[in-house]
Structure 1
């Protein structure tokens, strides 16, 4: 690559993201890793990142300049630190994760004349509206202001980008869809997946003729809690009435007490599983009964990439084009219990069909990073 084609980029991540465990943390970590292969990248973040737990070398420079605690979101000293950093390193573009530090990015833009990019992981105002927070309108005003002040905005789904254009008044040409990606995903060919499924069922004494269903999440977060409730209290009983030839696994941290440790011939509540990858590979159908929270549901993307079929409520599948999946993803209207249960039965036919290459290419981090770099170089 010619040296004059490189850009010197500063990204600002307002929270700890190494080790990357949650979807949001992985979205920050992997985009910066892949951007760092194509541009000179410095990431400024908190002092809580533990790079010692990450065995893969960083392709970017990580500086713990923001401090820790809630004050990092309003600390004016960070403006002085970053202004000096920008000057010393001849930074050419500033990228901020989420709109919360947009005030800081805007001041840096004014002080340096550099273009500012805001990367939105979802429409934050809508997420908090769905969670019933009264102050969501205040956040919407700030979010609108932030994206209007930005030189360019990255959105994780086309739906979010379209919303920002129509509701926040951003010009379409100042937006790009930079989605969540897949890294090191073990995509199993149908015959290999079948072997994994057989071994898992045998090891855990699950009859081979029972379809293995999986729901996984981090609980204590209302969208996941409500999804678990509708699954356990409504979808699961409805499915039992239609066809009891399945076994449902529930995995995740902080499962509500009323659902913990349940085990029947059709259900096992596993709770937190250290090696969740093993369970994902064994799952024949991934269930995504989520309709709140906004953004792209990263577990759904990962389950599909791993070869499972999937069933999702419509709002939970935002950002995933079912046309790329050749029938492996069934989408039903939000909170439609009967349709969800029926779709599980229909999805059985797609369990052992190959993962379409078009889907894997769309969520490839290298391709996603190239698109981001193209937008950055155009500023």
Structure 2
């Protein structure tokens, strides 16, 4: 039986942001049910636990997208490993992948983590119209296209002129199969480690802040949400921020209600210990995987509308509360709602959609066509 070769055009091990996590989880989970081979940049940090062959075929530099040596190396790996399907994450290497696939008779699958032209458009990049035309051609070259959200699949089908039989919805995966029990001990321990009282309402915002939309979200938290809560909250609260890439004034705050913790080794401990997770994203595109993962862990997420794009809102129930972009008062009212109602269970429909075994079954169906 032939193998599936998964290509990621950038370093994703260890995963340090949502995009990396999508790539890492897909390889890990797919390797549990299928024979796979992974190809990526040569600066990935491999671990002994890796269960599939890995090839670092290129340097993690910009010219990798136009270096023809990648095509020759990919050809050799496909023949050596008996590859029958190539699964490409993001479209940037599609010209080489398509050429090798056609010459060797290998099916090519293209997975969109977001619509790139829209992502660049929302953060004001002048080349977004050019990206649209290029991206359209790349998706039309693929034998099958997969999208991380249903809304982007529907839009991609329309704007890239793809047939319904040529597209599949493949969401980000979570490990949890059902809603976890309330973990009051995790809250108590985290608050104690931060020097906070047990009745403190603890808000968590975590992200990779080198990405502009995440940094803009942090500016909102510091400059608008924090002062608003200082003026209006009649209860003890504290905001903690986790993640690297924070620069300039965003690194510090004179408020005693705010703490930047930087990169933390055990992020899940902080998610479980928080009372609410913030998703104050109002620009950029793509599904915010951190919101999906937090809801899977039983946390309620308060988000701006843009930050909730691509998430199956109906399946989230009361675990995803959406505010209009940049509306601090509405955002605050949703925080009060979380404080009042406490930790409600995550609906079963959420796990039906995002639990990894259900998602992998969908991918297996596409691979075996």
Give the TM-score band, short-chain normalised: over 0.9
- The SS at the match of 1:294 is coil
Deviation of residue 33 (structure 1)? 1.8
Of 123-132 and 360-369, the range deviating more from structure 2? 360-369
Counterpart of 1:198 in structure 2 is: 188
- Asked if the contact 1:45–1:64 (Cα under 8 Å) also holds between the matched residues in 2, the reply is yes
Moved more, 105-114 or 163-172: 105-114
Determine the structure 2 residue equivalent to 1:74. 66
Which residue of 2 is the match for residue 363 of structure 1?
Answer: 354
Residues 285 and 62 from structure 1, CA distance in 2 versus in 1: closer, same or farther, beyond 3 angstroms?
A: same
Secondary structure, counterpart of 2:359 in structure 1: helix
Deviations 1:213-251 (Å, cap 9, x if unpaired)?
Answer: 111122232101111112221222233333242221122
Distance 1:244 1:260 in 2: 27
TM-score (norm: length of structure 1)? 0.90
Shift of 1:265: 4.3
Return the match for 2:292 from 285, 295, 301.
Answer: 301
What is the rounded CA distance, in whole Å, between the counterparts of 2:78 and 2:191 in structure 1?
A: 55
- Describe how 1:244-323 pairs up with structure 2 within 5 A: 244-245=234-235, 246-262=237-253, 264-323=255-314
Residue 176 of structure 2 contacts residue 296 of structure 2 at CA under 8 Å; is this kept in 1? no
Residues 81-92 of structure 1 mapped to structure 2, 5 A cutoff: 81-92=73-84
| Residues 295-337 of structure 1: per-residue CA shift (max 9 Å, x gap) | 1112212222222211001111123223223312101222222
- Shift, 1:210, TM fit: 2.4
Is residue 155 of structure 2 the alignment partner of residue 163 of structure 1?
yes
Q: Distance in 2 between matches of 1:82 and 1:55?
A: 24
Q: Measure how far apart 1:55 and its partner are.
A: 4.7
Q: Distance in 2 between matches of 1:210 and 1:104?
A: 54
Aligned to 2:56: 64
1:10 aligns with 2:17: no
1:106 corresponds to 2:98: yes
Q: Which moved more, 1:235-244 or 1:336-345?
A: 235-244
Q: Please, what TM-score do these two structures have when normalized by structure 2?
A: 0.92
How many residue pairs align between the two structures?
368
In the aligned structure 2, how far is the partner of 1:267 from the partner of 1:89? Answer: 52
Aligned counterparts of 2:18 and 2:133: Cα–Cα separation in 1: 26
SS in 2 for 1:32: helix
For structure 2, the residue ranges without an aligned partner over 5 or more in a row are none
Matched, 1:143 2:138: no
CA contact (8 A) 1:7 1:92 kept: yes
Query: Measured at CA, do residues 266 and 67 of structure 1 come closer, stay the same or move farther in structure 2, by a change above 3 Å?
Result: closer
SS at match of 2:343: coil
Range moving further from structure 2, 115-124 or 294-303: 294-303
**Mapped contact 1:217–1:224 kept (Cα < 8 A):** yes
Unaligned runs of 5+ in 1: 1-5
Q: 1:197 to 1:32 in 2, by over 3 A?
A: same
2:335 is matched with which residue?
344
Aligned counterparts of 2:161 and 2:216: Cα–Cα separation in 1 = 33
The alignment's C-alpha RMSD in Å is 2.1
Matching residue within 16, 26, 34 for 2:21: 26
- Cα distance between partner residues in 1 of 2:242 and 2:8: 29
Report the Cα distance in structure 1 between the residues aligned to 2:113 and 2:281, rounded to whole angstroms: 17
Rounded to whole Å, the distance in 2 between the matches of 1:275 and 1:40 is 31
How far apart in 2 are the matches of 1:105 and 1:347?
A: 47
Question: Which stretch of structure 1 is more off in the superposition, 338-347 or 360-369?
Answer: 360-369
